[in-house]
Amino acid sequence: MVVLFSCNTEKKEKKTIVPEITKAKKKPPVIKEFGYILDDFNVVKDTIEPGDSFGEILDTHGISRAKVFQITNAIKDTFNVARIQAGKPYMLLKTKDTTQKAQVFVYQNNKIEYTVIDFRDSIIAKKRKKPIKLVEKTASGTINSSLMQTFDDMDLNFLVAYNMADIYAWTIDFTRLQAGDRFKVVYTEKFIDDTIPAGVDKIKASYFEHRGKPIYAFRFMNDSIHKVFDYFDDQANNLRRAFLTAPVKFSRISSRYNLKRRIKYYGNKVRPHRGTDFAAPIGTPILATSDGIVTKSERKGGNGKYVKIRHNATYDTQYLHMSRQAVKVGQFVKQGDVIGYIGMTGNTGGPHVCYRFWKNGKEVDPFREDLPASKPLADSLRPAFYKHIEPLKVELDNIIFKPKEIL
C-alpha cells in the first residue's frame, strides 16, 4: 500500500485591491469683469483709435446702422457717444454661437469709472465704478531742496506732495522752503483689485515743520449741508483763505487789473482792464476760487463762454473766454471745483481766462484786497472736531522722521 503525502503547505496570498482614487477635476475659476461672467460670451477687448466712432465700432461687429441709431438715442442722457476718446479701452461681449452677435459694450472712462451699454433685450446704459479698497499710509521726510524733489527721492506718490502744498498754501510759501524743514502725513490711497494703484484718496492729517514752527492740519467737515471739508490746525483754526489766489494751477499772469491800460491797436486810447488774465493751454481746467452758487453760465459778446459765481452778499467772481463750461446755473460749487476749461471764445488774442472779482457789485483787483479767511469752525462743531483729531494727532506724533542721510 502506497500512501501519498502532500508537502505543499504554502498558503495562497490574498491580494488587497486598492480602489483607484481619481482626483476631482477643479472647475476653472469664474472670471467676472464689469459685472458679467466672461465665459458666457466671446470677449473682444480693444482701445479706441484716433478717428474711431461708436457707430463704426458696432458696425464692424455686426450691428446695423438702424440699431446703432436706436441705441444712441436711448442712451443719450447717460452716455454721449460723440465724446469717446482715443486711447480709452473698451470691451465688447458677443454671443458664443455662429452669429457672433454683439450684445454689450463697456467703455472705460478711467481706471475706476466705466459705462455699460447692454442692448441684449431692452437698451440699458449705466455708469458704474470698480470696487475700490482704501489703504491708509503714512510718510515722513526732511526737506533737502523742494517738497516735490524730496517725495521723488523717497519714491512717494507725488500727488500727496501736491495735496499738501494745497493744504498749506496760505500758511507756507513752498518756493522758500529751507533745508531741514520736515513733514509727516497720514493719507489714504486707492487700489483696484487690491493691487492696482488708482490714485490718492485724501490726506487725513499732516504735520509740517517750517523754520522750526510746527503746523498741524486735520481734515474735517465744516458744512454738513453741502458736504464741505476743510483743513484745520490743532486749535481748530482754518488753514485756508476764502479765495484761491488763482483760478488756474501752474499758470502765469499775462495781464493784470489796470484801469489806465492803453492799447496801441486802439490808437493808444485808455481801455480799462477790469480783470486779471491767467494764460494757460487750451483745455486747462479752470477752478472756482471759492464756494458759491453759479449765477451765470452762458456765451455773451466779448466775454465768450463764461461762468459767474455768487459767493455771498459781498463777493462774486467771473471767468471769461472758456472753451466750454462745466457747471450750470443754480449749481453749488466748492473751492477748487472745475467749472470750465481754458479757451479763446469772445474777444481774446490767446488762450487764457480773464478772472474778474466783484466786491459789493463793483469790479476790483483781488490782489489789492484784504481778503477774509475761510469760515471758522462753528463752536457747536468743536467738541466733535477735538474728539476726531485726538487719535490722528497721536498717530502723527508717533511717526518717526526719516533722517536726511537716507534720502
Q: Which CATH number characterizes residue 300's domain?
A: 2.70.70.10
- Residue 390 within a domain: no
Nearest-10 Cα torsion for 92, 95, 101, 106: -20
**Residues 107, 143 within the same domain:** no
177 in any annotated domain:
yes
Same structural domain, 199 and 264 = no
Strand duo 213-223 + 32-33: pairing: unpaired
**Grid cell listed for 327:** 457747471
- Are 212 and 277 found together in one domain? no
Residue 54 phi/psi, 5-degree rounding, is -60, -45
Residue 146 lies in a domain: yes
The number of folded domains in the chain is 3
Answer yes or no: is 50 within a domain.
yes
Which among 107, 129, 151 is the end of a domain? 129
Give residue 5's pLDDT. Answer: 47
Residue 1 forms part of a structural domain: no
Q: Same structural domain for residues 265 and 176? A: no
Q: Mention every residue, 6+ apart, whose C-beta is less than 8 A from residue 187.
A: 136, 137, 138, 139, 160, 163, 200, 201, 202, 203, 204, 206
Same domain, 257 and 234: no
User: In terms of domains, do 137 and 218 share one?
Assistant: yes
Q: What is the pLDDT of residue 273?
A: 75
Closest to 167 measured CA to CA, from 235, 239, 247, 227: 239
| Per-residue pLDDT, 12 | 52
Q: Which DSSP string do the residues of 197-223 spell out, in sequence order?
A: EEEEEEEEEEEEEETTEEEEEEEEEEE
Report pLDDT for 71: 95
**Residues whose CB is less than 8 angstroms from the CB of residue 167 and which lie 6 or more positions away in sequence, other chains included:** 203, 206, 217, 231, 239, 240
Domain limits for position 342: 252-368
CA 157 to chain centre: 14
Same domain for 256 and 356, yes or no, is: yes
> Strand 338-342 and strand 285-287: pairing?
antiparallel
How far is C-alpha 69 from the geometric centre of its chain's CA atoms?
A: 32
Helix (H, G, I), strand (E, B) or coil at 69: helix
Structural domain ending residue among the three candidates 90, 110, 129: 129
- Residue 261 neighbours by CB distance under 10 Å: 14
Residues 315 and 361 in one domain: yes
Instruction: Please check whether residues 233 and 146 belong to one and the same domain.
Output: yes
For the question of whether the overall pTM of this predicted structure is more than 0.85, the answer is no
Task: Say if residue 230 is in the same domain as residue 177.
Answer: yes
CA distances from 331 to 114, 258, 320, 350 (A): 25, 31, 18, 29
Dihedral, 260, 266, 268, 270 alpha carbons, nearest 10: -20
Helices (H), 189-302: none
Query: Last residue of some domain: 81, 106, 129?
Result: 129
Query: Does 402 map to a domain?
Result: yes
CB-facing half-sphere around the CA of 372: CA atoms within 13 A: 10
Residue 137 resides in a domain: yes
In a domain, 9, yes or no: no
What amino acid is encoded at 379 in this protein?
D
Q: Name the DSSP letter for residue 154.
A: T
Do residue 233 and residue 277 come from a single domain?
A: no
User: What's the CATH code of the domain at 165?
Assistant: 3.10.450.350
Question: Digits of tens for pLDDT over the chain (407 positions)?
Answer: 445 444 455 555 555 565 666 665 666 677 788 989 999 999 999 999 999 999 999 999 989 999 999 999 999 999 999 989 999 999 999 999 888 989 999 999 998 999 999 999 899 999 999 989 999 999 999 988 788 888 888 888 888 998 898 888 777 877 678 888 999 999 999 998 878 888 899 999 999 999 889 999 999 998 777 778 889 999 999 988 778 888 988 667 877 777 666 555 455 565 677 888 998 999 999 999 988 999 999 999 989 999 999 998 889 999 999 999 999 999 999 888 999 999 999 988 889 999 999 988 999 988 888 777 777 788 999 999 999 999 999 999 999 986 654 44
**Cell numbers placing 363:** 469790479
pLDDT the model gives residue 261: 62
Answer yes or no: do 138 and 232 share one domain. Answer: yes
What's the angle, vertex CA 402, arms to CA 398 and CA 406, rounded to 5?
Answer: 160
